[in-house]
Amino acid sequence: MKKQKAYNTARHNQLLGAFTPDALRRIKSHMRPVSMKRGAVVCEAGGLLEHVYFPQGSVLSLLTVLENGSALECANIGREGAFGIFTAMYSQVSFNRCVLQVEGEMLRCPIEPLRLEFEQSSQVQNIFFSYSETLLSQITQSVACNAFHTVEERMCRWLLMMHDRAEGELLTYTHEFLAQILGANRTSATLAARSLQNRGLIRYGRGAIQIYDRAGMEQASCECYAVVKEQSGPFLTDRPARFKEPGTAVIGM
């Protein structure tokens, strides 16, 4: 029964939904649901990965960690993608610390069955390459965003990205946490959140944030949100149009 549940819920992850039925059937027996608490470290930077993780409502954060212990988010992963794709293609070393940002359902699969599919299937190669390119573009966009945009703009971008990927309307984050994830001081994060609330864009209290005016938030955000969303668009639908059956053209990024 547990194996059947893992297979049925696989369709809720868009990356898995792009697999052909045959490829999904070959890996389904290896997939298992996994439960973690928010803040749990899935893998440390430089750590060895044994599984690939497919969120189905949960959200993962990739953090760049400095020598002094400071960490800054460079990308986040929801049901549109997976953590560990690079390891399935090449090595088992994680470049970033991966932390569970939003609790929810998630599947994991040992690397070897996925690596075998990658080596033998051009369709799986297209999926992995395209998603890796999309994730890399999110990372590079975050670098520019952190360097040039205001804390308020970056907060809008980040909250919108969480809202896209999380299940439910409430985001349970404190000002201190937002400051850390945005690489800002707590005062700046508090002032930014207060400004957004005064403008009627969000409501917050008791460690929870609700986006009240979605359209207003998109206008208040920097262009980075729209750029990343457009790049991730094909992975946010049930059947990404770019992933074709073998023998047909595949459109890259």
pLDDT along the chain (253 residues), means of 10: 42 86 92 94 93 94 89 91 86 89 92 92 90 91 94 96 79 85 91 96 88 95 93 57 37 27
95 and 160 fall within a common domain: no
Q: Within this chain, do residues 121 and 46 fall inside the same structural domain, yes or no?
A: yes
β-sheet bridge partners, residue 211:
202
Tell me, what's the pLDDT at 76? 93
Q: What are phi and psi of 187, to 5 degrees?
A: -60, -45
53 dihedral zone (left: phi>0; alpha: psi -120 to 50; beta): beta
For residue 14, being part of any structural domain is answered with yes
Helix axes of 2-9 and 21-28: crossing angle, nearest 10 degrees: 150
Amino acid at 198: N
Q: What is the pLDDT of residue 196?
A: 96
* 103 and 141 belong to one structural domain: yes
Q: Into how many domains does the chain fold?
A: 2
Residue 253, H or E segment = none
Asked if residue 194 belongs to a domain, the reply is yes
Residue 58 lies in a domain: yes
Domain assignment of residue 239, yes or no:
no
Here the tokens at position 224 are: 């980075």
DSSP assignment of 140-203: HHHHHHHHHS-HHHHHHHHHHHHHHHSSSSEE---HHHHHHHHT--HHHHHHHHHHHHHTTSEE
- Identify the CATH number of the domain in which residue 25 sits: 2.60.120.10
61/132 same-domain check: yes
Q: Is residue 252 part of a domain?
A: no
Residues with Cβ within 8 Å of 72's Cβ and at least 6 positions away in sequence, in order, are 63, 64, 146, 181, 182, 183
Domain that holds residue 100: 2-145
- Do 124 and 188 sit in the same domain of this protein? no
**What pLDDT does residue 243 have?**
41
- 126 Cβ contact partners less than 8 Å away, ≥ 6 residues apart: 242, 243, 250
Distance (Å) of CA 213 to CA 6, 138, 188, 201, 241: 35, 24, 22, 5, 30
Whether the CB-CB separation of 210 and 200 falls below 8 Å is answered with no
Asked whether residue 108 is domain-assigned, the answer is yes
Q: Are 103 and 37 in contact (CB under 8 A)?
A: yes
Provide the b/e sequence for 226-235 (b: ≥16 CB within 10 Å): ebbbebbebb
Of 109, 125, 145, which one is at a domain's C-terminal end?
145
Same domain? 82 vs 190: no
Classify residue 242: in a domain, yes or no.
no
pLDDT at 247: 36
Q: Is 245 domain-assigned?
A: no
Output the CA angle 7-75-203, nearest 5 degrees: 95
